[in-house]
Amino acid sequence: MASVHLSFCQLAGNRPPSHRSRRLPVRCADDRQALFNRIAPVYDNLNDLLSLGQHRVWKRMAVSWSGAKVGDNVLDLCCGSGDLAFLMSEKVGPTGKVIGLDFSKEQLLIAASRQHSRPKACYKNIKWVEGDALNLPFSDSYFDAVTIGYGLRNVVDKQKAMKEMYRVLRPGSKVSVLDFNKSTNPFTASFQEWVIDTVVVPAATGFGLAKEYRYLNSSIQEFLTGKELEKLALETGFSNARYFEVGGGLMGNLVATR
């Protein structure tokens, strides 16, 4: 079943919504931040409920594909409440460094609270930074690996976001991009839309968040296919790019090497 991740970067589409859906992406920056701050308290519980815990499997795959290793300096972009950042922390260990960057203060507060409540020594290596995915506050070739979960689909300028990730990565390092898969298979695409309409939105309604989750189908329809993501990465300058479908084709993961 599909996970219900929104995103914690700049949420907006680059094109008008598809005729298949009347759901409109949130476009005002202030509204976006208010939205993500509002869903923060129930975000993790909803993800577990609606994906039957499978989102944790997909996130571990994304971190594994990033190539992060002990002692590395890594970035989790659009980190939200910190799931990928914690997994990256376990990969790089106490001698490594992890930065989780997001634009939602409430999500970062939850991430920090989770960090303080967990006993693993490696989690002390995580630093939470409020920032913009399109203007990263880091120098060139600063990181050994970058992950971004459920964020690229919703940034205002996907090419600029990819360029920023390319810029801050060291040569030979990888970015791992996990998100909903925009399937070219009509059956998979229809099933994905059905799941969101009949499972995700009604469940979110129970938390008073129907409005916040209705946009998912339109954002997926406006996203790039796996082949298009590979092309975007190569055009950005990455030397290699490969896209993997996971979760029965409902999710996808782009792995690109600088």
Decide: helix, strand or coil at residue 219: helix
Domain count of the fold of the chain: 1
Residue 16, in any domain of the structure: no
Read off the tokens for 13: 């589409």
Residue 176, in any domain of the structure: yes
Half-sphere exposure for 100 (CA within 13 Å, toward CB)? 29
Residue 210, in any domain of the structure: yes
- Domain of 251: which CATH number? 3.40.50.150
Residue 136, in any domain of the structure: yes
Residue with tokens 């929104």: 6
Find the DSSP H helices in the chain: 29-39, 43-51, 54-65, 83-92, 105-117, 158-168, 186-195, 201-206, 210-213, 216-221, 226-236
Q: Render the burial of 92-129: b for 16+ CB within 10 Å, e for the rest.
A: beeebbbbbbbbbebbbebbbebbeeeeeebbebbebe
Amino acid at the residue 203? A
Considering the entire predicted model, what is its pTM?
Answer: 0.83
Q: Which residues form the domain of 231?
A: 29-257
The one-digit pLDDT tens for each residue of the chain (258 residues) are 444 454 434 333 333 333 333 333 334 445 554 555 555 555 666 666 666 667 889 999 999 999 999 999 999 999 989 999 999 999 999 999 999 999 888 889 999 999 999 889 999 999 999 999 999 999 999 999 999 999 999 888 999 999 999 999 999 999 999 999 999 999 999 998 898 888 888 887 877 777 767 778 888 888 999 999 999 999 999 999 999 999 889 999 999 999
Residue 21, in any domain of the structure: no
